[in-house]
């Protein structure tokens, strides 16, 4: 018989962008279980289900104490029937059969390995699986044609699936900083992504480049990339130019969360001294994202590129549903006033949105 537990119930606001979510929290086993199911849904292109699990995981990350009984969760937002069932199982048995089955399924593991190759998305991975390719060896032995990105991804698979450390990120920051300040005096380099949120490891290193005088950022990317290349620091790079002005959807109506800045997806070659390469190696490969923004859009780009991905999604949902505004990494449009709201800092954007400022280290939803 169940004894009436002493229930201290939690309260949590609805949107992740209203909450402070630290990297370390009290419910990792619950959030891990839900995150795995979210990942599986993403790998199967079930975005609705993926977001539902991500939101549920984020609520658990925001709780001020460890959950010991589902009764404590009564009234909390974003916890659907399915998520609650998973939580109940993990609380009772320490694991959930759906999670365990997924974790060990051939399809999940094949999708994980194949999409773990830089340049390979879920559609490609799914097609390969249907052709009987489940792992790297089978891919290498098959006659599959790879594009340049995928070939680089496969060549550097081991390195790129090793976590990038904070020391690596600092080392790359120095390199990029040196390149930018010698080529473009006055231009600024800002570390974004997970490292700006205080993560100790990441899958890549993300940078925003800008110049304090509007327009002076033009040409920055080409120069920096050419210099890096001439120094033998690039194993791969693909630069896309800024398509913001010509885009038909416009800043107020972004068609997706992909932005239109000039950007470079790169694979850096870090030598000993710049990193600790694996035993017996002289260097290691590291993924780096470089993004150039005009200073007028910098605050929006910084907010958009700091993440987490769920935090970003929730900011846009809040803007749209609660404020009749449209937020992108370029701008904030007020649909009621029919005008763009300017901002030169993240704090101003939160103010425009009617939200308390959440610092980067507390955006780990």
Active site residues: 204, 206, 289
Pick the stretch among 200-208, 212-220, 292-300, 337-345 that binds ligand TTP (CB under 6 A). Answer: 200-208
Q: Between residue 24 and residue 63, which ones bind ligand TTP under the rule CB under 6 A?
A: none
168 forms part of the interface with ligand TTP (CB under 6 A): no
Of ligand TTP, Mn ion, none, which one sits near residue 305, judging by CB under 5 to 8 A according to partner kind? ligand TTP
Smallest gap from Cβ 173 to ligand TTP, in A, equals 14
Burial code (b: 16+ CB inside 10 Å, e: under 16) for 31-54 equals: bebbbbbbbbbbbeeeeebbbbbb
Sequence-separated (6 or more) residues with CB below 8 Å from residue 197:
23, 306, 307, 308, 360, 361, 363, 364
Smallest gap from Cβ 195 to ligand TTP, in A, equals 7
Q: Between residue 171 and residue 190, which ones bind ligand TTP under the rule CB under 6 A?
A: none
Pick the stretch among 23-31, 57-65, 301-309, 339-347 that binds ligand TTP (CB under 6 A). Answer: 301-309
User: By C-alpha distance, which of 169, 159, 145 is closest to 117?
Assistant: 159
194 forms part of the interface with ligand TTP (CB under 6 A): yes
193 forms part of the interface with ligand TTP (CB under 6 A): yes
User: By C-alpha distance, which of 265, 191, 183 is closest to 220?
Assistant: 183
Smallest gap from Cβ 92 to ligand TTP, in A, equals 32
Judged by CB under 6 A, the residue of 134, 305, 318, 333 near ligand TTP is 305
Map residues 122-141 to x or -, x wherever contact with ligand TTP holds by CB under 6 A. --------------------
User: By C-alpha distance, which of 150, 148, 157 is closest to 128?
Assistant: 150
Q: Between residue 248 and residue 267, which ones bind ligand TTP under the rule CB under 6 A?
A: 258-259
Map residues 199-228 to x or -, x wherever contact with Mn ion holds by CB under 5 A. ---xxx-x----------------------
Please give the Cα distance from 333 to 252 (Å, whole number): 5
328 forms part of the interface with ligand TTP (CB under 6 A): no
Judged by CB under 5 A, the residue of 19, 51, 120, 193 near Mn ion is 193
What's phi and psi for 263, nearest 5 deg?
-145, 160
Reading the block at residue 240, the tokens are: 């896309």
Nearer to Mn ion, 42 or 206 (CB): 206
Smallest gap from Cβ 143 to ligand TTP, in A, equals 30
For 326, the 3-state DSSP assignment is: strand
| Sequential DSSP letters for 89-118 | HHHHHSS-HHHHHHHH-HHHHHHHHHHTST
Nearer to ligand TTP, 194 or 251 (CB): 194
Smallest gap from Cβ 46 to ligand TTP, in A, equals 20
Map residues 269-308 to x or -, x wherever contact with Mn ion holds by CB under 5 A. --------------------x-------------------
Please give the Cα distance from 316 to 310 (Å, whole number): 10
What's phi and psi for 122, nearest 5 deg?
-65, -35
Reading the block at residue 108, the tokens are: 């999940």
Of ligand TTP, Mn ion, none, which one sits near residue 307, judging by CB under 5 to 8 A according to partner kind? ligand TTP
Please give the Cα distance from 333 to 325 (Å, whole number): 5
Angle formed at CA 256 by CA 262 and CA 103, multiple of 5 degrees? 105
- Contact between 197 and 306 under an 8 Å Cβ cutoff? The reply is yes
Judged by CB under 6 A, the residue of 40, 308, 326, 327 near ligand TTP is 308
- Contact between 110 and 125 under an 8 Å Cβ cutoff? The reply is yes
Reading the block at residue 348, the tokens are: 């101003």
Reading the block at residue 63, the tokens are: 């709780």
**Binding-site ranges for Mn ion (CB under 5 A):** 193-194, 202-204, 206, 289
**Binding-site ranges for ligand TTP (CB under 6 A):** 193-194, 199, 202-204, 206, 258-259, 304-305, 307-309, 312, 329
């Amino acid at each position: 018989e169940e004894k009436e537990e002493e229930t201290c119930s939690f309260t949590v606001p609805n949107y992740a962008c209203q909450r402070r979510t630290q990297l370390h929290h009290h419910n990792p086993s619950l959030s891990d279980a839900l995150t795995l199911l979210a990942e599986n849904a993403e790998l199967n292109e079930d975005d609705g289900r993926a977001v539902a699990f991500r939101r549920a995981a984020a609520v658990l990350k925001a709780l001020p104490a460890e959950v010991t009984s589902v009764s404590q969760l009564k009234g909390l937002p974003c916890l659907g029937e399915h998520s609650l069932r998973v939580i109940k199982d993990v609380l009772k048995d320490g694991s959930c059969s759906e999670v365990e089955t997924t974790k060990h399924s051939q399809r999940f593991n094949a999708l994980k390995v194949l999409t773990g190759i830089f340049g390979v998305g879920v559609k490609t991975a799914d097609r390969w699986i249907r052709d009987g390719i489940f792992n790297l060896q089978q891919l290498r032995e098959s006659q599959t044609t790879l594009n340049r990105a995928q070939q680089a991804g496969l060549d550097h698979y081991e390195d790129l699936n090793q976590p990038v450390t904070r020391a690596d990120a600092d080392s790359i920051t120095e390199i990029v900083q040196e390149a930018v300040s010698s080529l473009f005096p006055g231009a600024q380099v800002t570390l974004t992504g997970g490292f700006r949120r205080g993560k100790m490891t990441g899958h890549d290193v993300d940078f925003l480049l800008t110049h304090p005088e509007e327009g002076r950022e033009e040409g920055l990317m080409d120069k920096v990339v050419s210099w890096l290349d001439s120094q033998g620091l690039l194993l791969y790079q693909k630069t896309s130019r800024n398509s913001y002005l010509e885009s038909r959807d416009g800043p107020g109506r972004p068609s997706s969360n992909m932005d239109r800045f000039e950007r470079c997806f790169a694979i850096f070659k870090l030598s000993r001294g710049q990193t600790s390469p694996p035993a017996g190696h002289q260097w290691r490969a590291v993924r780096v994202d470089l993004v150039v923004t005009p200073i007028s859009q910098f605050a929006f780009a910084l907010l958009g590129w700091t993440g987490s991905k769920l935090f970003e999604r929730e900011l846009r949902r809040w803007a749209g549903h609660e404020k009749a505004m449209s937020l992108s990494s370029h701008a904030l449009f007020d649909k009621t006033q029919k005008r763009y709201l300017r901002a030169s800092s993240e704090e101003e954007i939160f103010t425009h949105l009617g939200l308390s400022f959440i610092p980067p280290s507390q955006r780990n939803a």
